[in-house]
Structure 1
Amino acid sequence: MSDTTASPSPTAPREFPCGACGARLEYSAGARQMRCPYCGSQEKIPEAAREVREHAVQTLFARRPAEGLARHRFVCQGCGAHVQGDHLSQVCQFCTAPLVTDDSADVQVPPEAVLPFTVDRGAARDALSTWTKSRWFAPNSLKRVNEAERFKSTYLPHWTFDAQTVSDYRGQRGEYYWVTETYTTQEDGKTVTKTRQVRKTRWYPARGRVSRFFDDVLVNGTTQVAPEKVDALKPWPLQQARPYAHEYLAGHEALRYDVEPEQGLDRAKQVMARTIEQDCKHDIGGDEQRVSSVSTAYSAVTGKLLLMPVWAGAYLHGGKTWQIVVNGCTGEVQGERPYSAAKITAAVLAAVLLIVLAVILYVQYGG
C-alpha cells in the first residue's frame, strides 16, 4: 500500500544496554532477537506499530539531514565506501583499505524497511568454507577472508519501486508458411533432381496496448559491490522485510547508498521495459514478433529504501582486491578468486612426474 508521507528520519543511534550485565545488546541472526555477546541474555525486538510502506517518488526524492543509523561513521580511503556501525572498524570489508572517521554532513533518504539477517557468522563461515573448497587452484589468501576484520555483516542499500504502466506499441507479427523448392545434387556421378520444404515468414503490421503493475522492482543502491554479483545472490525473501528499526542494525554495519533514488528509478524503468517488451510480443502473437517502438506511461509510482543483509569480505592477491559476499538470508555465496600460479605449476609437475613414472614402469615391466 502506498503512502505519500515520508517515514520519520532515523533518530540518533540508540543504545541497547543488557538488562543483566549492562553491555550493549546486538541483533542475533540465529536467535532473531537482541542478544548480549557477553552474558548471553536475550530480549525480543518490539513489534512494529506500522507496516512497511511505499512512498510517492516525489516524497522519496526529498532528502533530509540524517543523524546516522549507527554510532560510528567511516569512509574508506580506497574505494570511498561510507559505512556505519557500532564498532570502531579498521579495515574496509569491500577493498581492505583503511577506514577513517567520516565527519561530513549527510543528506539522504531514510530507510523504510530492513530485511534482517537470518544467517549468523558461523553459518556464513561454513558456506564460505564450502565455496572455497570447491575452487581448485585458489590461493591460500582466499581462506583468510572470514577473519573478523575482513568478513563483516553488512546491510546493503537497495531501492524498490512499484508502478502501474500502460504501453502502446508498434511492431510486426510473423507467421510461418512452407514452400516447395526444387534442387539438384550429384549421386553416383549422376545429376538427381529433388524437392524440399522450406520455411518462410510472412510479416503483418501490428499495434496495440498492454498494461502491467510492477511490484517491488529491486535496484542495487551501491556501486561498491558489482551489480552482477549482487544479482546472483537472488532470490531474496522480500516478504520477510520489516519496518526499519535501529535494533536490526545493532552489532552490524550498514553501507550508505551511492546510487541516488532518481538513478534507481531510471534503472527500475529499464528492468520494467524488458518485461513490457515481452508483454508486447505476447500480445502480438503469431510465430515470430518484432517490436519497433514502445511508448509507456507510468502512474502511481512509489518506492522505498530497503536494507539487505550480506556477509562481505575482501582480500588482496597479486596487487588486486577480490571480493566475497554471502546472502545473509540464504547463505548463497558469490565472489571472485584468482588462480594460484604456484598450485597450478605444482599440479602440472605432479602430472608430468606421474606420466614419466608410468612410462618407466611400462618400459621395465610391460615392454
Structure 2
Amino acid sequence: MATSTQLVCPNCAGTLQFDPTIGKMKCIFCDSVFSQEEAEQFFAQQNEEEEIKESGADWGEDADGMRAYSCSTCGAEILCDQNTAATRCPYCDNTTVIEAQLSGAIKPDVVIPFAFTKEQAMEKYKGYYEKRKLIPKDFLSGSRVEEIQGVYVPFWLYDGSVSIDAEFEAADITDNGTEITRKIYKADRRGNIAFENVPADASKRMPDDIMDSVEPFDFGQLKPFSMTYMPGFLAERFDVEGDDDLERAEKRVTNTAKQKTRATVRHDEVTETRGDYKVNYTKKKYALLPIWYLTTSWNGKQWNFAMNGQTGNFTGDLPVDGTKLGIMTGGSALAAAVLLYLITKSIPFILGAALVVGLIVFLVAKGSMKPVHKATQANEYMAKKVSLVYSTDDYVRTERKKKEQRQQS
C-alpha cells in the first residue's frame, strides 16, 4: 500500500490547509498561519523525517484500477482511482495529498490557487439560480444538492502562433440616391498572431463545455507548482495527453486568427476567398486550475454546476418552466402588438412584428437558462492585433446599379 501525505502544523500537529481568503496555509485547529515558503520547508522536512518513498511502480492497484493509500493522519486505508491526486479520508475527513501523482515526470508546471472559499462558492450558487425567473419552483425545493467540491482540475496550456496567408474580396459602397456604386478590391494579408496559455482541460471526468464556460482565467497569476496549495482541496492528475487536446486549442486559435485578420480589411463588405492558417506550437505547460464543482439531482436528471475558483465566474444549465416561458413569450408579443397598433393599423405588419418579438424573447430567455457552451474562440489568450508582413488592397473594378424609382401617385 502506498502512503499519502498531509501537511502537519509545527505548533500543534494539526492539519494545515490552504486558506483562499488570505492566500496562506492555516491550521484548522490552532489557526496558526504560515507563508507558502514556510509551508514548503515544513513539507520537505516532514517528508524527510517520515522517509516517504514513492517509486511509482508499487501502487497496490486492484483489478478495477483502484489504488490503496494509507492516510497519514489516522492510518486508514483510502481507495481512489489512478488519476486522483488529492482526496479526503472517509474516516478522519482530512484532505490527503497523494504526492506521487504530483511529482517526478507528472509534476504540474504551474498552478492557480483558489481565491474563493466553499461558503463563498455556495453563495454564488444560490445567487445564480435565484436570478433565473424561469426556473421551476419545485427545483428549488425538490432538488438534492450534493456537497460542493473544490477541485484542482488538470489543464494543458498552449503557447505559439498562427501563420496567416489569406485573401479577401472587399467592397466600398456609396449611395447617391439614384445609383449604388461598389468599388471592388482584392485584399491580401500575410503575417502571424501569437497566443499564450490557451487552456484545454485534461480530465475525462470534467465536461469540456462546463470547463470552457467558466473561462477566462487570469494567467498573469500563474504560480510555480507547490504541494502546499493542495491541502484542503481535491485534485486530479491528467488522463488526457497533451497531444490529444491539441485539436481543441487549434480550432479556437484558428477561429480567432481568422476573425482578427478579417478585421484588418477595412471596407464596407468583406468576404474571405482564400485562407491558410497554420498553428505552430512552441510550448506546452501542465497546470492545475481551481474549480468549485457541484451537482444536483432533480426530476431523474443530474445537473452540473461549476465556478471558476479564481474569478468567481459561475455557470451551469438550469431547467426551464415551460409555463413561465410561454407567459413571458406571449406577454411580450402581445405588448408589442398593442404598441404597434397605436402606431399603425396594418394588421399583417403587426402580427409579423409581434411574432418576431415573441421569438426573440423566447430564444433570449431560454438561452439565459442554458449558458454552458463549447468555446470556439481564444480572444483572451491571443495578441490584440495581427502582425502583418504583407498587406495590400488592390483595386479591381467598379460596379454600378441604378436604383428603382418609385412613381409618385
TM-score of the two chains, using structure 1 as the length reference:
0.65
Match of 2:88 in 1: 87
Residue identity opposite 1:39 in structure 2: C
2:173 aligns with 176
User: 1:243 offset after TM fit, Å?
Assistant: 0.6
- CA shift, 1:215, in A, is 1.7
Q: Which residue of 2 aligns with 1:187?
A: none
Looking at structure 2, the residues matched to 163 and 18 of structure 1 have their Cα atoms a distance apart, in angstroms, of 42
Task: Identify the residue that residue 300 of structure 2 maps to in structure 1.
Answer: 319
Aligned equivalents of 1:48 and 1:240: distance in 2?
20
> What does residue range 281-320 of structure 1 map to in structure 2 within 5 Å?
281-299=262-280, 301-320=282-301
Q: What are the within-5 Å matches in structure 2 for residues 7-22 of structure 1?
A: 14-22=5-13
Asked if structure 1 preserves the Cα contact closer than 8 Å seen for 2:111 and 2:223, the reply is yes
Aligned equivalents of 1:48, 1:247: Cα separation in 2: 6
Distance 1:252 1:73, change over 3 A: farther
Instruction: Specify the alignment match of 2:127 in structure 1.
Output: 130
Whether the 8 Å contact between 1:323 and 1:336 is mirrored in structure 2 is yes
Give the whole-Å Cα distance in 2 for the aligned partners of 1:286 and 1:113. 43
Cα 1:47–1:271 change in 2 (3 A) is farther
Q: 1:166 Cα deviation (Å)?
A: 2.4
Distance 1:265 1:167 in 2: 19
TM-superposed deviation, 1:111: 1.4
Query: In proportion to residue count, which structure has more helix?
Result: 2
**2:245 alignment partner, SS class:** helix
C-alpha distance in structure 2 between counterparts of 1:107 and 1:200, whole Å: 67
1:116 aligned residue: 113
Alignment of 1:67-82 (within 5 A): 74-75=80-81, 82=83
Percent identity of paired positions between Structure 1 and Structure 2:
22
8 A Cα contact 2:144 2:297, kept in partner: no
Tell me how far 1:108 sits from its aligned partner. 7.6
Q: Unaligned regions of 5+ residues in structure 2, if any?
A: 41-54, 60-66, 72-77, 92-97, 325-409
Question: Could you tell me how far apart the structure 2 residues matched to 1:289 and 1:262 are?
Answer: 35
- 1:261 equivalent in alignment to 2:261: no
The root-mean-square deviation of aligned C-alpha atoms, in Å, is: 3.8
For the structure 1 residues 129 and 242, does the alpha-carbon distance in structure 2 shift closer, same or farther, using more than 3 Å as the test?
Answer: same
Across the two proteins, how many residue pairs are aligned to each other? 282
1:24 aligned onto 2:46: no
The offset of 1:124, in angstroms, is 1.4
Q: Which amino acid aligns with 1:270?
A: K
TM-score, length-scaled by structure 2: 0.59
Equivalent position SS for 2:254: helix
CA distance in 2, matches of 1:38, 1:107: 32
- Give me the whole-angstrom Cα distance separating, in 2, the residues matched to 1:65 and 1:200: 72
CA distance in 1, matches of 2:180, 2:79: 65
- More deviation, 248-257/201-210: 201-210
Shift of the 206–65 alpha-carbon distance from structure 1 to 2, 3 Å rule, reads farther
Matches within 5 A, 1:51-66: none
Determine helix, strand or coil for the equivalent of 1:46: helix
- Pair 1:247 & 2:211 matched: no
Please give the alpha-carbon distance, in whole angstroms, between the structure 1 residues aligned to 2:217 and 2:123.
20
Aligned partner (choices 208, 217, 223) of residue 198 of structure 2? 217
Q: CA deviation at 1:298?
A: 4.5
Pairing 1:154–2:145 present:
no
The answer as to whether partners of 1:142 and 1:315 remain within 8 angstroms in 2 is: no
CA change 1:204–1:245 in 2 (3 A) is same
Task: State the distance in 1 between where 2:253 and 2:127 align.
Answer: 36
DSSP-derived class of the 2:31 partner? coil
